[in-house]
Amino acid sequence: MTEHTAPMSPTTPGEFADEIRKELKYTQGVTAEQATPADVYVATATAVRKHLVDSWASTQHDMVAGSTKAVGYFSAEFLMGKQLLNALLNAGLSDQFYDAVKELGFDVQDVIDSEYEPGLGNGGLGRLAACYIDSLASKGVPAFGYGIQYRYGIFKQEFDEQGAQVERPDYWLANEEPWGHIDYNRSQRVNYGGSVVEENGKKVWKPAWSVRAVPVDYMVPGYASGRVNTLRLWSAKSYDEFDLLAFNKSEYVDAVKPQVAAENISKILYPEDSTPQGKALRLEQQYFFVAASIQDAIRVFYPGEENPDLTTFPSKICFQLNDTHPVIGIPELMRVLIDEYGYDWDTAWSITNKSFNYTCHTLLPEALEVWSAKLIGELLPRHLEIINKINEQFVAELGTKTNDSAKIDRMRIVTDGEDPQVHMAYLATYGGLHVNGVAALHSQLLKDVTLRDFSDVYGDKFTNVTNGVTPRRFIRIANPRLSALITEGLGTDRWLSDLDMLEGLVPLAKDDEFVKKFAAVKQANKVAFSNYAKREYDFDIDPNTMVNSMIKRLHEYKRQSLKILSVISQYADIKSGKVSADDILPRTVVFGAKAAPGYKMAKLTIQLINNVARVVNNDPDVKGKLAVYYPWNYNIRLAQHLIPATDLDEQISQAGKEASGTGNMKFALNGAMTVGTLDGANVEIRERVGAENFFLFGMTVDEVEALYAKGYEPKSYYEADPRLKQAVDMVADGTFSEGDKGLYEPLVTDWLNKDYFMTLADFSAYMDIQGEIETLYREPLEWSRKALLNVANSGFFSSDRAIDDYLRDIWETGPLGE
Ligand code: 9GP
């Protein structure tokens, strides 16, 4: 490490080594000689936190004392990734760390590897939240991330002998976790159940039980901003720790029941919700973190005030609802204002309405949460009353705007009928100031399809903020070689906080020497990834092949099945000698994905991919020509290794289904070429990097819709393309299941008879574009030139730009002190 990418701390490597020694001694209780790499990791984390603590304190002080509105980012997921390198970078201590650890006699990689990656999120949504709080801090905007400190995050994925996914609990807190600060003194009470009574003409909620929400605070250091914000994750504890009476009667299980019930609330990310108990637990979780956070925000911004003037609340903080999970915050703020602070309905509504905004991250109707009113009534009876009243007010307001009664009926927040349902996306749209989608196409489809009635009536609320990713983690930390080359090309490292500067690389794409250096960086990253994959998974990846990656959650709409069918087809072609040895472009296909535990088709697809990998990789006829790898337990660490090494990435969802995608941005910024459909943010990536630098294929949204309307018959595509027929037949005939024709039957039946996401319809186009891809790849200089142009033109996809958009169009605030 030679280059300095953040303002260097004046601390020398020797001084930093002393600080680590001190933490080893006073915190860990070991000498440097006795220490393990894990001790050094904890000691380093503790030392770096101390470097950040003054900025943390001054940021909080300035936020409360000043007049800059803060942002409260409410999210059920924060997929932070490992913290150490990010904290060191932002504290300006990266170089000192490398030297200090060496001085202490440790291997830097061992120390870095000692950190356990927290998996407090599922995928893109949670990682986006993490990128956004990084950018908020880097821009100096006062902000809180508010969420849940799950004891178990997303499961740890393993594969069994048959290649099937096995889920194991991921107890990420099993070892010392040095980043979170548990603050028992700032806990909040969160109530549930009971009933609502009238006392002196006032509604009074008499809850049946309560949980203690204890904040665990994580510093969120900004890059080169001198600001440190807070990620506050709530952990559930019981007020009635333990029933001694029951215990002494030997009723050991009963004795801890209240404790278990309370702690279940923050036990696990997205508990299985196919049972009524599972549904209730999810709603309990959602209410738990938003209720605690709202109380917390009032405590923070009106310290010690008995009767705060909460009409000023919207000027102190605004809450961003990340998808529908935190939407129960809207009736909660109403309840707090009316029941606890005595405001009348209209004033409370005016405050609430100005305090919330909503980001929708999906186009799949099933991902927009709908709660049964009965369940809400059981858990949160006062909130159900408030929601019903909001609904009445809404329906009345609609009556003044349209006389289309069918439309009004469709828009009801609470449906009519025997078993009323509450539409959380509708509540969020009506209850807040702005609604945004996460890519231009997505925002348009929200207006035209998903929330069409709402956009007709409340058009002004709708806006777009195209997602972005943090260049600190996803270029600087993940890809130090490329970072150094960019800095060399631009003559400065200021691009790390102003990613538009990457455009300065455009002229260098004409400079063959620079392009060759760029190609050398990619090759070195491929070698590094191959070593990593050997070490971690015992894979033998040939770095001289094209590395072709598809990493994302496993979902039918993302169409991993399209990719695996194409691999099968290539395999068949090589086997049959249809393509001559000279015409084969050696390729390594890498998948990374977890499937939701209850999602059968996705899990079967995983099994198929693993078995295709087993057959292909063990077949001497294809050795050196085609290989398939599926590293288990895809996480941010793996992404940070694989993305910089990838030549070609896959963004092949059915058009109109992927809201945005953020992997596509990370790949483009790391110099991979993309093969993709016109979906989500692909559309904007292609516009920016140039159509000639993007491998486009497949149906458009309109074509998809037209085909649905006409009547889609997947079998006709199977019959028409022999490549497809052969691939599907090989799945059906047991080639990848040791002769068992039944194993993949559900997949095959679905492909041939339903294929809702039209994998078969796009197959031919997908296969045809492979020719173009391979022709270009055979010209390494031209390929690298285009890949470099992807980097140079993707600065727009920085999360700093996305945050600027939110600040300007939605939050109407900015950096502290401005
Ligand atoms: O599926 C979207 C993905 O396209 C997007 O990039 C990400 C961040 O905006 O959100 C995902 N949505 C969800 O995870 C659930 O709505």
* pTM value > 0.90: yes
Q: Are 58 and 229 in contact (CB under 8 A)?
A: no
Indicate whether residue 363 lines ligand 1 (CB < 6 A).
Answer: no
Cβ–ligand 1 contact at 679 (below 6 Å): no
Contact in structure between 283 and 321 (CB atoms under 8 Å): no
Choose which residue among 660, 662, 677, 757 to substitute to test ligand 1 binding: the one with the highest number of ligand atoms within 8 A of its C-beta.
660
Q: Which of 438, 445, 653 to mutate to test the pocket of ligand 1 (most atoms within 8 A of CB)?
A: 438
Closest-lying ligand 1 atom to the alpha carbon of residue 442: 4
272 Cα–ligand 1 center, Å: 19
Q: Which tokens belong to 692?
A: 């000639």
Name the residue among 26, 178, 4, 165 with its Cα closest to residue 92: 4
Mean pLDDT of 290-301: 98
Q: Is the pLDDT assigned to residue 592 strictly greater than 60?
A: yes
**String of b and e for 96-108 (b: at least 16 CB within 10 Å)?**
bbbbbbebbebeb
> 509-567 pLDDT, tens per residue?
999 999 999 999 999 999 999 999 999 999 999 999 999 999 999 999 999 999 999 99
Which residue's alpha carbon is nearest to atom 10 within ligand 1? 125
Nearest to 294 by CA among 258, 260, 341: 341
Is any atom of ligand 1 closer than 6 Å to the C-beta of 467? Answer: yes
Residue 680 has pLDDT above 90, yes or no: yes
The verdict on the CB of residue 680 being under 6 Å from ligand 1 is yes
Beta-carbon count within 10 A of 405 CB = 10
Quick check: 4 pLDDT over 70? no
Cα–Cα distance between 369 and 205 in angstroms, integer? 25
Residue 172: which of 561, 637, 498 has the closest Cα?
637
In percent, the amount of the chain with pLDDT more than 70 equals 98
Centroid of ligand 1 to alpha carbon of 362 (angstroms):
6
Distance 658 CA to ligand 1 centre (A): 7
User: Ligand 1 pocket check: which of 75, 125, 269, 553 to mutate, most ligand atoms within 8 Å of Cβ?
Assistant: 125
Task: Name the token pair of 544.
Answer: 């001289």
Written out in words, the top-level CATH class of the domain with range 66-81+117-467+804-811 is alpha beta
Q: Is 801 in the pocket of ligand 1 (CB under 6 A)?
A: no
Residue 240 has pLDDT above 90, yes or no: no
Distance 225 CA to ligand 1 centre (A): 28
710-755 pLDDT, tens digit per residue, is: 999 999 999 999 999 999 999 999 999 999 999 999 999 999 999 9
Structure tokens at 237: 């504890």
Phi, psi of 725 (to 5 degrees): -60, -45
Q: Is 362 in the pocket of ligand 1 (CB under 6 A)?
A: yes
The best mutation among 361, 683, 684 to test binding of ligand 1, ranked by most ligand atoms within 8 Å of the C-beta, falls on 361
User: What atom in ligand 1 is closest to the CA of residue 659?
Assistant: 4
Residues 38-77 pLDDT 10s: 999 999 999 999 999 999 999 999 999 999 999 999 999 9
Ligand 1 centroid distance, CA of 274 (Å):
22
Q: Is the dihedral of CA 541, 547, 552, 553 positive or negative?
A: negative
User: Is residue 583 pLDDT above 90, yes or no?
Assistant: no
Where helices occur in 494-617 by DSSP H, the ranges are 512-537, 560-576, 600-617
For ligand 1, say whether the CB of 466 is within 6 Å of any of its atoms. no
124 pocket-lining for ligand 1 (C-beta < 6 Å)? yes
Q: Check if 367 has its Cβ closer than 6 Å to any atom of ligand 1.
A: yes
pLDDT in tens, 444-463: 999 999 999 999 999 999 99
305: CA distance to ligand 1 center in Å?
A: 39
The residue ranges of every structural domain in the chain are 1-65+84-116, 66-81+117-467+804-811, 476-700+762-792
CB 659 less than 6 A from any atom of ligand 1? yes
CA distance 609 to 614: 9
Region 208-223: mean pLDDT is 96
Residues 721, 727: Cα–Cα separation, whole Å: 10
Query: Is any atom of ligand 1 closer than 6 Å to the C-beta of 361?
Result: yes
The mean pLDDT value for 469-473 works out to: 98
Cα 231 to averaged position of ligand 1 atoms, centre (Å): 21
Q: What is the pLDDT of residue 818?
A: 54
- Kindly state if the Cβ of 485 falls inside 6 Å of ligand 1: no
Q: In the predicted model, what is the mean pLDDT of the chain?
A: 96
What's the per-residue H, E or C state across 518-547? Answer: HHHHHHHHHHHHHHHHHHHHCCCCCCCCEE
The proportion of the chain whose per-residue pLDDT surpasses 90, expressed as a percent, equals 93
Under the banding of pLDDT at 50, 70 and 90, the label for residue 6 is low
Question: Would you say the CB of residue 165 lies under 6 angstroms from ligand 1?
Answer: no
Q: How confident is the model at residue 3, as a pLDDT? A: 37
**pLDDT exceeds cutoff 70 at 199:** yes
Per the rule left: phi > 0, alpha: psi between -120 and 50, beta: everything else, 114 is: alpha
Q: Point out the ligand 1 atom lying closest to the alpha carbon of residue 77.
A: 14
CA distance 183 to 576: 65
CA 214, CA 584: separation in Å to the nearest integer?
A: 59
Asked if residue 163 has pLDDT above 90, the reply is: yes
- Residue 728 CB less than 6 A away from ligand 1: no
Average pLDDT over residues 212-222: 98
Residue 638 pLDDT > 70, yes or no? yes
Same fold, 66-81+117-467+804-811 and 476-700+762-792: yes
pLDDT of residue 256: 72
ipTM over 0.95: yes
Q: How far apart are CA 604 and CA 750, in angstroms?
A: 12
CA angle 33, 37, 41 (to 5 degrees): 115
Question: Ligand 1 centroid to 250 CA: how many Å?
Answer: 49
415 CA from centroid of ligand 1 (Å) = 27
Residue of minimum CA distance from atom 12 in ligand 1: 361
Q: How far is the CA of 681 from the centre of ligand 1 (A)?
A: 11
Could you give the residue numbers annotated as active site?
Answer: 361, 552-553, 558, 662, 666
Residue 389 exposed, middle or buried by CB count within 10 Å (0-12, 13-18, 19+):
middle
Of the pLDDT bands very low, low, confident and very high (cuts 50, 70, 90), residue 1 is very low
658 lines ligand 1 (CB under 6 A): yes
- Could you please report the per-residue DSSP string of 361-427? ----GGGS-EEEHHHHHHH-HHHHHHHHHHHHHHHHHHHHH---HHHHHHH-SB--SSS-EEEHHHH
Q: Which ligand 1 atom minimizes the distance to the CA of 658?
A: 4
Each residue of 87-141: pLDDT tens digit?
A: 999 999 999 999 999 999 999 999 999 999 999 999 999 999 999 999 999 999 9
Atom of ligand 1 nearest to the CA of 364: 16
Question: Ligand 1: which residue has its CA nearest to atom 14?
Answer: 125
Centre of ligand 1 to C-alpha 290, Å, is 21
What confidence score (pLDDT) does residue 250 get?
76
Cβ-based neighbour number of residue 802 at 10 Å: 24
- Predicted pLDDT of residue 175: 86
Cα three-residue angle 663-665-670, rounded to 5 degrees: 95
Average pLDDT over residues 7-36: 93
Looking at ligand 1, which atom is closest to the CA of residue 438? 9
Lowest model confidence (mean pLDDT) among 36-40, 194-198, 268-272: 268-272
What CA–CA distances, in Å, run from 714 to 262, 383, 601, 653, 718? 49, 47, 17, 17, 7
Q: Give the ligand 1 atom nearest the CA of 360.
A: 16
- Domain 476-700+762-792 CATH class label: alpha beta
